[in-house]
Amino acid sequence: MKHIKFIIIILLFHTNSYAKILDQAIVIIEDDVITQSEFEEKLSFTMNQYRVSGNQLPVDREAFREQILEHMITTRLQINYAKNNGLEIKEWMIDKAMENIAERSGVTLSEFREKIISEGIDYKVYRNIMAEELITREVQRRIVSTKVKVSQKEIDDFIKHQSHVFKENNQYKISNILVSLSENHSFEEKLAAEKKINMIRDKFISGENFSNLARNYSDSGNALSGGDLGWRKISEIPKIFINELENLNKGEVSNIIETSNGYYIFHLEDEKELENSEIQETKVRHILIKTNAIVTDEVAKEKLLRLKSRIENGEAFADIARAHSDDTMSAAEGGELAWAGPGAFVPNFQDKIDTMSTNILSDPFKSQFGWHILEVLGKRNQDNTELIKRNLAKQYITNSRSRETIDSWLIELKQENYIKYVTESDRSNINEIDIKMQQQWDPFAE
């Protein structure tokens, strides 16, 4: 009887994982799995994207399927990392992202949804993938902010020796491919990687599409998007690409670039020149309420609504900020923040600023730091050349290291986590779980 009770308890504990196992697990990642149905769903979605965009599917279908599975593993690792570090994406954040996409397409969100469905794409899957992109983007942003540190001396040296960056506002549309190396790679692994990157480069020169090659062969985190890095100013291009870029014409592919992570090549798809423009700075003040085990989202939001009502009824914003804001530095200044240009704040905070008129008190909204209300005190066009130079220099140095930093971190993440590809024989063993279990139930034991 005790033995039966033990089995029931263990099975209940593993209910979610066990349900996934019965759906034919194809990859085990720590205590999580990727199932066959999840993979088929992702594959179908990706193939539909090809069809809708008018692109041809890669010729090497097996490599294409492997690329999708590897992308799913990398994504799942990042999602699990986010969960373990208390980072989550709320439904309203997904809504906002979807609204932005619809707006850029010139339609409403409901019209956008209807268009997606009419093209045979599962809107729920589309939304789930959007959530995954938001969480992985935020994870990578935090990894870069943690691992990439830029000193004042580096900024000074950059301004002194690379002043051409500030004289040019050219933008470049580039894509990249990475053939990665493990941290403790062997000579044979390095030789194989070098051979593979040469093969990929030769295929492009022979006329194959760079995006398809990236989807088929690249180990970079942006492989499924065809290696696309988008339009970037020279200050935003990875530093390891700069020397090659200077000698590259539109439409050409770079020479092979060797790094500690592996081998890169990149493709210069297009370039354009932009006119110089002034920077618009904004002056705001805010009140922050942080959440914790006691102060939930609902409590924080309700408190800010009460504070907003008091301000609207005549109490001074500055006095209430000093008494109640959890941002202690700005609270001492009555909630006021220094004049700042675009991108100085976290995305949700910046988005709110960009949509508000001056001298209007916002409704409560959430950022990664907690809940806020804010007021835009003023906006100005500022030709603050020195500050702009320093910000651009810091941004350039950070971005030049970001791709390599992320790729290196993803390699570490894979090495730190238990990952097993489940074969047909493994699945058979899983489906024949012996009732006579040992004291610790481990369906994946070797």
Query: Tell me: the pLDDT tens digits for 247-267?
Result: 888 999 999 999 988 999 999
By CB atoms closer than 10 A (0-12, 13-18, 19+), residue 203 is: middle
Pick 1 or 407 by higher pLDDT.
407
Residue spans per domain, the chain: 20-147, 168-276+400-409, 279-382
Using 50, 70 and 90 to split pLDDT, how confident is the model at 102?
A: confident
pLDDT at 435: 32
**Which tokens belong to 27?**
């990859």
Whether the pLDDT of residue 335 is over 90: the answer is yes
Pick 352 or 435 by higher pLDDT.
352
Task: Please compute the mean of the pLDDT values over residues 117-135 and round it to a whole number.
Answer: 88
Using 50, 70 and 90 to split pLDDT, how confident is the model at 1?
A: very low
pLDDT at 426: 56
Using 50, 70 and 90 to split pLDDT, how confident is the model at 164?
A: low
- Name the nearest CA neighbour of 63 among 293, 175, 224, 172: 224
pLDDT at 441: 32
Q: Tell me how far the alpha carbon of residue 329 is from its chain's centroid.
A: 29
**CATH architecture for the domain at 20-147:** Orthogonal Bundle (1.10)
Whether the pLDDT of residue 15 is over 80: the answer is no
In CATH, which of 3.40.190.10, 3.10.50.40, 3.30.413.10, 3.90.45.10 is domain 168-276+400-409?
3.10.50.40
Task: Please compute the mean of the pLDDT values over residues 4-9 and round it to a whole number.
Answer: 38
Using 50, 70 and 90 to split pLDDT, how confident is the model at 415?
A: very high
Q: Comparing 81-85, 192-196, 381-385, 417-421, which segment has the lowest mean pLDDT?
A: 381-385
Same fold? 168-276+400-409, 279-382: yes
Pick 445 or 166 by higher pLDDT.
166
* Cβ atoms of 24 and 18 closer than 8 Å: no
Using 50, 70 and 90 to split pLDDT, how confident is the model at 400?
A: confident
pLDDT at 11: 39
- Give the span between the Cα atoms of 170 and 232, in whole angstroms: 8
Helix, strand or coil, per DSSP, at residue 170? coil
The separation between the first and the last C-alpha atoms of the chain, rounded to the nearest angstrom, is: 28
pLDDT at 87: 84
Q: What is the mean pLDDT of the chain?
A: 83
pLDDT at 115: 86
In the chain, % of residues over pLDDT 90: 43
pLDDT at 93: 83
**pLDDT tens-digit map of 56-95:** 888 888 889 999 999 999 999 999 999 988 888 888 888 8
Whether the pLDDT of residue 205 is over 80: the answer is yes
> 279-382, what's its fold?
Chitinase A; domain 3 (3.10.50)
Task: Please compute the mean of the pLDDT values over residues 85-110 and round it to a whole number.
Answer: 82
pLDDT at 245: 86
- Give the span between the Cα atoms of 203 and 185, in whole angstroms: 26
H or E segment and range at residue 262 = strand 262-272
Task: Please compute the mean of the pLDDT values over residues 21-28 and round it to a whole number.
Answer: 77
Whether the pLDDT of residue 328 is over 50: the answer is yes
Whose tokens are 């799913």? That residue is 72
In the chain, % of residues over pLDDT 70: 86
Whether the pLDDT of residue 22 is over 90: the answer is no
Whether the pLDDT of residue 402 is over 70: the answer is yes
The single-letter DSSP state of residue 33 is E
Q: Which of the given ranges, 166-170, 219-223, 233-237, 317-321, has the highest pLDDT on average?
A: 317-321
